[in-house]
Structure 1
Amino acid sequence: MPLLVMGFLTPRDLSSGDVPKEIYNFRIYLLAFCASMGSAMFGYDSAFIGGSIGLASFKSRFNFTNASPSAKSALSANIVSTFQAGCFFGCILCWLITRKLGRRSILMICGALFNVGVILEIASPGILGLIYAGRVVTGLAVGASSMIIPTYISECAPPALRGRLVGIFEIFIQVSQIVGFWVNYGVQLHISNSSDTQWRLPFGLQFVPGTLLLFTMPFQPESPRWLMQKNCAGVARKSLARIRKLPEDHPYVNWEIELINSQIVEESERNPSTIINHLKGPFTAKIWPRLLIGMALMLLQNLSGINALNYYSPTIFQSIGLSGDSVKLLATGIFGIVKTVTTMVYMIFIIDRFGRRVPMLVGSVGAAFAMYYLGAYTAKSGSFSGEVPKDGGAYIAIVMIYVFAVFYAFSWNGIPWIFW
């Protein structure tokens, strides 16, 4: 039965004259859910790591219990940066091989590679080198999958659902971040500080999204567009018909196949398929402005301050007056819930109705206001260099973290991925 409901969830397809309702079916949502297990790897990692390396059991196992604040900060920075380095090289390697192996195969490789990294992490008997190595390997998988998932979903999605379905990528990031935040809170409360299980459990739960990605993607079709690029028109037609839940000779399937083929022919005539031309292509007069917009959006998204809140939120909450590991982790978990709920509302009900530009402008203003307050409060109170009084300014600072989460969630959180 087609997944059509009245109101905000009803797709509005203006791309062709006669759009069969059958194309809005469960298969395309299932495809997006399965592929987005890769984004769950990303989301869980960004949420759990800051709290996990702050657990007493982790600090004890890796001999950081009595370390100086600077040594603890260096440890946190190294663990986070090795993952980011892996992501960087994962994106580059994915771009080099995806044209040969396709979208689905790359995602399965990412799931397997991610699990290898997790094994290295949880097998560490107290050797930081294994943690760093595991972080690099998981970063490779996350970087590659983060680049390919929006491409794969958009190439398979009906035009009217493209924003919503690519938005599932971001929703899975947010939901898995909630899991990461609350897992740390749970192990802090219920597992002894003297047990390695306390830190190994959050690390080990990374297996869940990696394994689901590895074992669900074989049941999903390959991107019809990639198949057409590889001159596999018959297989592409079967793949598209399966996703659209229509016969292979249906007029709508014929229209989409012809559209994809004409786009590929135009691209190949303009830029013959060679590595040099692929590198030169983005810098042509028609493409480079779009490239700059896409790059600017992704760059500014990461410069917005969200990564600091994701990775170091327990430390930030402590700096503005919250004491106790459980209290800090509880506040961090609530931050994740606020961000996730706002993201889901926007991606499900708003993204394909009210566009991208206005939410970006409104969200930017609100997020900037909240971040400027936090910066001003930190500078005036000296919160990162000593204790601060729990006065009105501190409580407003805590509220501003959640205000930032709301405005960021319906603007910078998901829109750059869709633009890209």
Structure 2
Amino acid sequence: MSNAQGHSAGTHLPSLTRGPHTKRLGLISLIACFGGLLFGYDTGVANGAEGPMAMELGLNLLQVGVVISSLVFAAAVGALIAGQVADSWGRRKTIIALAVLFFVGTLFVVFSPAGPEPGTFSPAGFSVLVAGRIMLGLAVGGASTVAPVYLAEMAPYEIRGSITGRNELAIVSGQLAAFVMNAILDTWLGESMDGVWRIMFSICALPALVLFFGMLRMPESPRWLVEKGKYDKALEVLNTVRSPERALAEAREIQAVTDKERQKNKPLGIKAVLTNKWLLRIVGVGIGVATMQQLTGINSIMYYGTRVLEEAGMTAQQAVLANIAFGVVAVVGGVFALRNMDRLDRRTTFMIGLTLTTTCHLLVAFASMLLPVGSALRPIVILILVVAFVASMQTFLSVAVWVWLAEIFPLHMRGLGIGISVFFGWGTNGVLTLFFPSLVSGVGITGSFFIFAGVGAVALYFVATQVPEARGRTLEALEEAVSSGAIYRSR
């Protein structure tokens, strides 16, 4: 789809203006993004905390894998459930419930009992720890689904990419915060204090409280309100985040599309997906996009970056400190991504990102193969190339994927559609998380990154042939184009 085609949709709306409503929208996006911050911290904290945790609780490699991957597999379930809950219960209430789950899960992890002696295995402690990680996983998966949808539905279509993309920036900021705190605590207290990993995990209780109390004062999504027949309330919300003229025009457009769908007397939710080949197709493409993102191996680096760097030749402490570089470039890349989200088409961004990440995979594999083990140059070169991979991923893929998933599905099944897609994404993430240490141990860095490169080539073909464009259209225009299949013909 050309830019001209994309930007023709929705231009009948009054232009955006600045005013108090702009600051209100900024505050709403800031509070909602604490869900992304928690997502990032909870997934990143294990990268550095796993060593002290395993040592104190007497965990073997398999048990460490279970502890870390339990969050990821639970996130898959959380994404699926929370999406449907958000469709029926509301975006705001669902996010508030997720904040409670974040807080309770953190308490379980922090207070999981150790064995009678340091380093001895405690079945009860292991059970409590895994239960806490499952709670955090449900919350992480839910936040990964509901927060982007909430932001996309609150944002004007002209800046929807940059508003929704803030959640991904919050995710990588949370991961960076986890890496930095891990490095500080490990350097200051790692040798002298048992239970330092508990402090690492406990920090995420603070943003959970901010998310809970902050969302109590935030409005519900106006699009969800219209879909539930609460037009007056939706207009009231829109008047706080738009100029009066723009708010009224958007409310009427949302109402018109909703009424049109109701007049067709067609099924909603999962029934609509199963009876409409175009909705079934877009869910399939959504699954492919979410899975594609995970198969780049980005989260394997974010979870096990220290292990990769140690395999490259760094000491454990060097790896923990160098791991901060991944968080830094992820945040910098996220900032650049936000600047480009409303300037570059989503498909173009996907293609650039996959080309760069696949190239980085190949370079890492060749560097690992050609530089001998023990070479002083080997860990430095591999670190630089992996940093380049993370930067490419965050600048061109991660933000764009979450924005695309949040905007592409019709309103009546938006939570369900993104929930199903992210369920498969998190499931893929879980499998990689569980087996990545064994993969690196079995085929080394060389084989692992050659595999990632091969998958990247397949993903490029998938995007080029299957993924439709979403930028430059209102959510209502997208809904009609997706439901009728016109979005594929325009491409």
Segments of structure 2 that go 5 or more residues without pairing to the other structure are: 1-6, 115-124, 406-491
Change (3 A) 1:276 1:294: closer
Change (3 A) 1:192 1:333: closer
Partners of 1:181 and 1:187 in 2: how far apart? Answer: 10
Aligned residue number for residue 111 of structure 1: 99
Change (3 A) 1:345 1:206: same
CA displacement 1:163-199 (0-9 Å, x = unmatched): 0000101110111111000111001111143523411
Aligned residue number for residue 200 of structure 1: 198
Instruction: Report if the CA contact (8 A) 2:367-2:381 is conserved.
Output: no
Instruction: Report if the CA contact (8 A) 1:87-1:140 is conserved.
Output: yes
CA displacement 1:85-136 (0-9 Å, x = unmatched): 2111112221332222100000000000111111100111221111100000
How far did residue 81 of structure 1 move?
A: 1.5
Which residue type is aligned with residue 166 of structure 2? Answer: I
How far did residue 16 of structure 1 move?
A: 2.6
Partners of 1:13 and 1:209 in 2: how far apart? Answer: 38
Matched, 1:161 2:146: no
Matched, 1:419 2:404: yes
Alignment of 1:138-287 (within 5 A): 138-244=136-242, 246=243, 250-270=244-264, 272-274=266-268, 277-280=271-274, 284-287=276-279
Partners of 1:330 and 1:270 in 2: how far apart? Answer: 59
Alignment of 1:309-388 (within 5 A): 309-325=301-317, 327-347=318-338, 349-378=339-368, 388=373
Partners of 2:200 and 2:374 in 1: how far apart? Answer: 33
Aligned residue number for residue 85 of structure 1: 73
TM-score of the aligned structures, taking structure 1 as reference length: 0.87
Change (3 A) 1:273 1:323: same
Identity, in percent, stands at 23
Aligned residue number for residue 33 of structure 1: 30
Moved over 4 A (4+): 11-14, 273-276, 376-381
Aligned residue number for residue 94 of structure 1: 82
Instruction: Report if the CA contact (8 A) 2:48-2:320 is conserved.
Output: yes
How far did residue 61 of structure 1 move?
A: 1.9
Instruction: Report if the CA contact (8 A) 1:271-1:277 is conserved.
Output: no
Instruction: Report if the CA contact (8 A) 1:182-1:329 is conserved.
Output: no
Which residue type is aligned with residue 375 of structure 2? Answer: K
Aligned residue number for residue 409 of structure 1: 394
Count residues in correspondence.
Answer: 388
Higher relative contact order (CA 8 A, sep 6+): 2
Partners of 2:30 and 2:81 in 1: how far apart? Answer: 24
Aligned residue number for residue 433 of structure 2: none
Which residue type is aligned with residue 286 of structure 1? Answer: W
How far did residue 356 of structure 1 move?
A: 2.3
Partners of 1:376 and 1:78 in 2: how far apart? Answer: 31
Instruction: Report if the CA contact (8 A) 1:12-1:160 is conserved.
Output: no
Partners of 2:305 and 2:51 in 1: how far apart? Answer: 11
Which residue type is aligned with residue 108 of structure 1? Answer: I
Aligned residue number for residue 291 of structure 2: 299
How far did residue 354 of structure 1 move?
A: 2.3
CA displacement 1:344-394 (0-9 Å, x = unmatched): 1221x211112223332222112111112333455677x9xxxx2124444
Instruction: Report if the CA contact (8 A) 2:162-2:341 is conserved.
Output: yes
Change (3 A) 1:45 1:370: same
How far did residue 220 of structure 1 move?
A: 0.8
Between structures 1 and 2, the one with greater helix share: 2
TM-score of the aligned structures, taking structure 2 as reference length: 0.75
How far did residue 265 of structure 1 move?
A: 1.9
Matched, 1:60 2:55: yes
Change (3 A) 1:135 1:380: farther
Segments of structure 1 that go 5 or more residues without pairing to the other structure are: 1-10, 65-70
Instruction: Report if the CA contact (8 A) 2:78-2:138 is conserved.
Output: yes
The Cα RMSD (Å) is 2.2
Partners of 1:221 and 1:148 in 2: how far apart? Answer: 14
Partners of 1:275 and 1:357 in 2: how far apart? Answer: 26
Aligned residue number for residue 390 of structure 1: 375
Which residue type is aligned with residue 267 of structure 1? Answer: E
How far did residue 77 of structure 1 move?
A: 1.4
Change (3 A) 1:319 1:263: same
Partners of 1:192 and 1:329 in 2: how far apart? Answer: 12
Which residue type is aligned with residue 122 of structure 1? Answer: V
Change (3 A) 1:239 1:397: same
Aligned residue number for residue 481 of structure 2: none
Partners of 2:26 and 2:286 in 1: how far apart? Answer: 25
